[in-house]
Amino acid sequence: MTAGDDPAADQLAAQEAWRAVMASWQRVELMQLGPLGSSLTALGGEDLRDEVYSWPSVNPCRVDQVTADGSYAKDTFFTESLVNTTGLDALEHLLFAAAENVCPAQVTPNADGAWEALGPDEVARRRVDYARVLTAGVLTALDDAQARFVEDGFSEALALDDPNTPYESEQQALNAVYDALFYLELSTKDKKLATPLGLRDCGETICPDEVEHLPSGFGGPAIAANLAGFRALYTGQDGPGVDDLLVELGHGEVNDAVIAGLNDADAAVAALGDTPLAELLVNEPEKVLAAHDAVKGVTDLLKGDVATLLALQIPAEAAGDND
């Protein structure tokens, strides 16, 4: 985000650049193996994913507070800050949010009058400066993540004969891939679709405020990118994948069902069009429900036939989830 002669044009350009990066990252969301994975659940996990994008751990009010107090300018900002004030999620708020802040009246920067004292022009200037800081931070985080997967990094650790591998067997390594694919169940289906639809963890008929990418309206394209990332990891693209293993073991019909399900899910998500998910939930909820059901068709196979035939363990966080 720059401060040129046409701030509106600069902001639009920055928003388009963010969408392009976010679309790429949403594919990577399905590939949280090793260092990208959670240190609590993934073998070799180092939480590098959260340094790039931490949804659903987001806090737009805290981003507004940082904007108001200017702490983004400190040299120690990244080491002292939680992930919900950094990364692509915080950057989304800075680029797409309305001029006013989203904090309650009883907390800063409203309770102390700090936001009002800054005025619209200063808020806009600080958001630009904060966005620049976050952009540099995201680039550093991406470089760090890539470095962990180069030939002398985690890509070598994936080989069982590497002394630094976190995997004790081929089955354990395969299960790590399976765990990464399970993002489609736990996050895409459940958090991005079922919760806003009111099917779980909502408490209301619908919960449009729970949609991912609420400020930008990028929720639909994000789900499409998740499906693309799932397909890439599942098939291995030009290399070996789970699909090849199923075929080799004589279960080609299950693989065919997964691919057909992915095609159906792609079509259902494409049918959402460019309308933000929050609007569709209010005006055309049947489209969002169709997308949910199509994604569920894939994940049911993932936690059913695929898990059974390949002797895979369902992630602990999904244990007992029968929907």
Domain spans in the chain, listed from the N-terminal domain onward = 7-31+47-147, 170-318
Q: In degrees rounded to 5, what are phi and psi of residue 212?
A: -70, 145
147: alpha, beta or left? (left if phi > 0; alpha if psi -120 to 50): alpha
pTM value is 0.95
Task: Compute the distance between CA of residue 93 and CA of residue 63 in angstroms, rounded to an integer.
Answer: 8
CA distance 149 to 156: 8
Residue bearing tokens 């999620």: 89
- CB proximity list for 245: less than 8 A, separation 6 or greater: 174, 310
Query: Which residues lie below 8 Å from residue 61, measured CB to CB, with a gap of 6+?
Result: 101, 102, 103, 104, 107
What backbone phi and psi angles, to 5 degrees, belong to 265? -65, -40
H runs (alpha helix) in 168-321:
170-181, 183, 195-197, 219-235, 242-248, 252-270, 277-283, 285-301, 307-309
Q: How confident is the prediction along the chain (323 residues), in pLDDT tens digits per residue?
A: 445 578 889 999 999 999 999 999 999 999 999 999 999 999 999 999 999 999 999 999 999 999 999 999 999 999 999 999 999 999 999 999 999 999 999 999 999 999 999 999 999 999 999 999 999 999 999 999 998 887 667 877 767 777 778 998 999 999 999 999 999 999 999 999 999 999 999 989 999 999 999 999 999 999 999 999 999 999 999 889 999 999 999 999 999 999 999 999 999 999 999 999 999 999 999 999 999 999 999 999 999 999 999 999 999 888 666 66
